[in-house]
Amino acid sequence: MYAFSVNRLLALGCLCVVGLLHGPAAALTPPFPIGSGPWREVWVDPASGDDTRSGTTRLDALRTVTEAWRRIPLQQTLIAEGVRIKLTAGNHVVPNYWESRWGSFAAPIVIEAADGSGTARLPASTFFDVRHLYLLGLYFSGGDGGDGLQCERCEFLLLRQVTINGNATRPRGVQEGLKVNQSQYVFVEDSDIAGAGDNALDFVAVQYGHILNSRIHDAVDWCGYVKGGAFDLTVEGNTFFDCGNGGFTVGQGTGFQFMSAPFLHYEGSHVRVLNNLVHDTVGAAFGVNGGYNVTIAYNTAWRVGRQSHVLEVVHGSRSCDGAPASSAAVTACRERQQIGGWGTADEGGQWIPSRNVAILNNVIYNPPDAPSRWQQFAIATPITPPAGSNVPAPARVDDGLVIRGNVIWNGPATHPLGIEDSPVCTDSNPDCNAAQLARDNAINTLEPAFADLAAEDVRPMPGGAWLTAPSFGLPIFSNADRPTRPELPPGPSYVPSDTDRRGALRSVSGPAGAIQASALPLIVAEFYAPTLNHYFITASAAEQQALESNPGLGWQATGVRFAVGGDGSAPGAVTAWRFYGDPVIGPNTHFYTAVPQERDGLLRQSWATPAGAPRMNYEAAGFAPWPASDGGCARGRPVTRLYNLGHVRGDPNHRFVLEESVIQSMVAQAWVREGVVFCTTD
């Protein structure tokens, strides 16, 4: 029943009438949908398998993963049927080099632990030129100075419930835990990555994807960073801890020849760092080293920055690795420089600017025995980049820098901000100066209190004065000041922000940090646009107020209102996911579903459709109703979804209705009854 309207939505064309404004969106990023086949199963049993067998069942399993991998065609895109390699418990023999196997959306390559996450153990592995490769529940260990898992030139790589243990043979025995470079559409979910002599997670020139709900820890350098032209990545719900130079940073330093056109300017662009925990790092909790349109918001950190400061916004570095001795490196760097990339063909330096960085509504708590050594922030002073580097001069980091709504308890009351007597964030900068930082942040004025930091339980203790500190809305980036030679694609204009680490919708007023105190009941209100003949519902109080107070937007309240919950993780509740097309490209409509299969179908369509083509985009975790069951409701009132068959005209729309009389009236107007899709909480 539910697939009906979704399939129609996937095939829609352009609708060029602007409808609802983009309001704040939620931050509960859904997992990457892997689909359900069809695929050919190949079993591998390292104890009792045999590589001469078919591998089609557990009893007829192969012995080595090497043989299973060999049976996937080399450099041929799978179309009709994917491959699902199922690994039984034990230590597995794998290829020396996993290379050039190409799955597709319809026919991916899945390698999974058949007996539960962590039971199939593999040595450190290197992948190259793989597509639609999904690794589920695998355990990689060892490395002896190399990387625990490396993937180069990979497209649609998923790691879910994967363990990368660099401590298996010796402490911090791998250089990088997970290293991904020159790749696109990379997804890390619910994984544990640890034990690196350098960085636990290192993304270089990776565009599109996410890092979700993972534990990334135990590294000499940063716990994790994305750099080298990283673009359009979400880093959400993770825990970073026990690292040297810091928790997580957007940008760092990159060899120019390793960057991919057109992402040849900033170290990281359109990166969203939301709802993470960071603790016990020698360096800063978060950093931006050469970033553009970067948001670091609603995170909680403690015992961080003891060597100097707790937050940093500085220049990224750019080099031509191997220059001048390597003629190949010099040639590659000059090619990138000639088309407008930022860099030179020499040893380079630290002069990549940062622009439009928003650090908002975070909580940083250092108890009295763990203050940062010198100051609160490190904000770099302007630098003159080298001639011919194409970097605009002077290279600054405080253009568009916004630091607001943060609750910071760190060091004595007189602890310096870090901008005193510095030509950065001066009084002439209205968005970042000493008076503004003191006014818009609670710095050593309100002490946070949490349930149990030792257990990483950062629920706020009720009644604390710090819970009243004001929070600020997250930015909507215009993309108008992005580099144009070569032209950087426009990233998302808005930043999802309204859901906390547990999936509870945030209130407009805060508080800061990864978890809010409690999720309050919400009221869904319905609106109607006569010029479009479209209906729209929202549980966002801010969005409701905007529509009601701006009649020029063309939306009228219908008076239909019903109660829902605000926490999709609450017992018995489900999440109603919100999708939106595009008012110009199409489809110009919102769509809600509480059905995971519908959600995943739209997500798959969104990832598979190029930017600029009609598609439904994930926007928000809209609210948390009770689930429907067998077409009815065990509790609450049933909400029926109606569809206007708008795919025929290019103007699809759905209406969510409670009253049977309204349903009958809409059906008489040729709307289709799709059934009860969720239940109210009143």
Distance CA 149, CA 129 (A): 14
Confidence (pLDDT) at 176: 97
Type of residue found at 479: N
Q: Which of 255-259, 344-348, 495-499, 575-579 has the lowest mean pLDDT?
A: 495-499
pLDDT tens digits, 440-495: 999 999 999 999 999 999 999 988 999 999 899 888 898 899 999 999 998 887 67
Strand-pair category, 617-623 with 576-580 = antiparallel
Which 3 state secondary structure label does DSSP give 310? coil
Write the Ramachandran bin of 45: left for phi over 0, alpha for psi from -120 to 50, otherwise beta. beta
Here the tokens at position 400 are: 């568009």
Say if residue 1's pLDDT is above 60.
Answer: no
Mean pLDDT across 229-239: 96
Confidence (pLDDT) at 615: 84
Query: In order of start, what are the domains of the chain with their CATH numbers?
Result: 3-25+519-679 (no CATH), 27-220 (2.160.20.10)
Confidence (pLDDT) at 371: 97
**In 10 A of CB 530, how many CB atoms?**
9
Name the average pLDDT for the chain. Answer: 92
Cis amide leading into 462 (omega within 30): no
Confidence (pLDDT) at 2: 41
Inter-residue contact 620 to 666 (CB < 8 Å): no
Closest CA to 231 of 503, 486, 589: 486
Closest CA to 17 of 531, 678, 567, 386: 531
Label residue 6 by pLDDT band (50, 70, 90).
low
Confidence (pLDDT) at 13: 33
Distance CA 658, CA 29 (A): 29
* 40, HSE (Cβ side, Cα atoms, 13 Å): 16
pLDDT tens digits, 70-123: 999 999 999 999 999 999 999 999 999 999 999 999 999 999 999 999 999 999
Query: Which pTM value belongs to this model?
Result: 0.92
Confidence (pLDDT) at 145: 82
Residues in CB range of 86: below 8 A, 6 or more apart: 41, 42, 43, 44, 58, 112, 114
Strand-pair category, 98-99 with 109-113 = unpaired
Confidence (pLDDT) at 508: 64
Task: Tell me how far CA of residue 371 lies from CA of 280, 308, 488, 551, in angstroms.
Answer: 11, 9, 40, 51
Residue ranges of alpha helices (H) inside 17-111 are 65-70
Inter-residue contact 346 to 281 (CB < 8 Å): no
Inter-residue contact 538 to 498 (CB < 8 Å): no
Give the per-residue SS3 of 242-281. Answer: EECCEEEEECCEEEHHHCCCCCCCCCEEEEEEECCEEEEE
Say if residue 516's pLDDT is above 50.
Answer: yes
Mean pLDDT across 318-338: 96
DSSP at 168: S
Residues in CB range of 525: below 8 A, 6 or more apart: 537, 538, 539, 544, 557, 560, 561
pLDDT tens digits, 183-229: 999 999 999 999 999 999 999 999 999 999 999 999 999 999 999 99
Confidence (pLDDT) at 18: 30
Which 3 state secondary structure label does DSSP give 596? helix
The count of residues in the chain is: 682
Distance CA 682, CA 662 (A): 19
Highest mean pLDDT among 157-166, 558-567, 601-610, 643-652: 157-166
Q: Which of 50-64, 435-449, 507-521, 542-556 has the lowest mean pLDDT?
A: 507-521
Inter-residue contact 90 to 44 (CB < 8 Å): no
Confidence (pLDDT) at 7: 53
pLDDT tens digits, 583-637: 777 788 999 999 999 999 999 888 888 777 888 888 878 899 999 998 899 999 9
Report helix, strand and coil shares of the chain as percent, to nearest 5.
Answer: 10, 40, 50
pLDDT tens digits, 371-385: 999 999 999 999 999
Confidence (pLDDT) at 524: 96
- With vertex at residue 500, the alpha carbon angle to CA 497 and CA 503, rounded to the nearest 5 degrees, is 110
Closest CA to 492 of 617, 602, 578, 399: 617
Which residue's entry shows tokens 């983009």?
22
Label residue 407 by pLDDT band (50, 70, 90).
very high
Mean pLDDT across 513-528: 88
